[in-house]
Chains A and B, each alone.
Chain A
Amino acid sequence: MRTFSEFSRPAWLRYGGAVVASAAALLLTGLFWPFFRNIPFMPAFLAIFLAGWFGGGGPSFLAVALCGVGLNFFFYPPASSLWLEDAYDVLRMIVFLVVGSLGSLVFRQLWAAKRQRAQLIVEEEKARASAETVAGELEQILESITDGFCALDRAYRYKYVNRQAEEILGRRREELLGKSALEGSPMSEAGIGAVRKAMDQGETRHAQAFNPVLERWLATDIYPSPDGVVVLFRDITDRKHAQEEIRRMAAIVESSEDAIVSETLDGVITSWNAGAQSLFGYKAEEIVGRPVSMLMPRDRKNEMQKILERIRRGERVEHFETVRLTRDGGSVPVSLSVSPVKDESGNVVEAAKIARDITEQKRQQTERERLYRDAQEAARVREEFLSVAGHELRTPLTSLQFQLHTLRRRVKSSEQDKAVQLLDRAAAQLQRLARLTEELLDVTRITTGRLELELEETDLGQILKEVVDRQKDSASRSGCELRVFAPEGITGIWDRSRLDQVITNLLSNAVKFSSGKPIEVRADLDTSWARLTVEDHGIGISPEDQAKIFERFERAVSKRSYGGLGLGLWITRQIVDAHHGRIDVTSRLGQGSTFRIELPLKPPGGAFA
Chain B
Amino acid sequence: MRVLVVDDDYAVLDAFKDVLEDEGYEVCLAANGLEALKELRRGNRPCVILLDLMMPVMNGWEFRQEQLQDQALAAIPTVIVTAHNRPDESARELGAASCIRKPVKPEQLLSTVGKYCA
Contacts and interface: CB of A to CB of B under 8 A. Distances in A.
Contact of B12 (A390, A398, A410, A497): A398
Interface string A388-414: 001111111111111101100110000
Contact of B15 (A390, A391, A403, A452): A403
B104 A387 contact: no
Given A390-B85, A454-B88, A406 B103 contact: no
Interface in B10-62: 11-12, 14-16, 18-19, 22, 54
Contacts of A452: 86
Contacts of A409: 22
B15 A406 contact: yes
Nearest to A450: B85
B11 A399 contact: yes
A387 B102 contact: no
Contacts of B22: 406, 409-410
A437 B83 CA distance: 12
Nearest to A396: B11
Interface centre among B22, B89, B106, B109 (most CB of A within 10 A): B106
B115 interface: no
Nearest to A386: B85
Contacts of B104: 398, 401
Interface residues of B, number: 24
Contacts of A50: none
A434 B106 contact: no
A401 B103 contact: yes
Interface centre among A391, A398, A403, A406 (most CB of B within 10 A): A398
A401 B88 CA distance: 22
A391 B54 contact: yes
Interface string B77-96: 00000111110110000000
Contact of B83 (A394, A400, A445): A394
A394 B102 contact: yes
A356 to B, nearest CB: 49
Given A395-B9, A399-B11, A454-B89, A434 B103 contact: yes
A397 B12 CA distance: 9
Contacts of A399: 9, 11-12, 14-15
A394 B9 CA distance: 11
A243 B73 CA distance: 97
B103 to A, nearest CB: 4
Nearest to A403: B15
Contacts of B102: 394-395, 397-398
A397 B105 CA distance: 10
A406 B9 contact: no
17 contacts: A391-B82, A394-B103, A395-B11, A399-B14, A401-B15, A401-B103, A402-B12, A402-B18, A402-B19, A402-B109, A403-B14, A406-B22, A437-B103, A454-B86, A454-B88, A497-B88, A497-B101
Given A391-B54, A394-B83, A406-B106, 16 more contacts: A387-B85, A391-B83, A391-B84, A392-B83, A393-B83, A394-B103, A398-B83, A398-B103, A399-B14, A401-B104, A402-B16, A403-B11, A403-B14, A403-B18, A405-B106, A406-B15
8 closest Cβ pairs, A-B complex: A402-B15, A394-B83, A399-B11, A405-B106, A397-B103, A406-B18, A391-B83, A399-B15
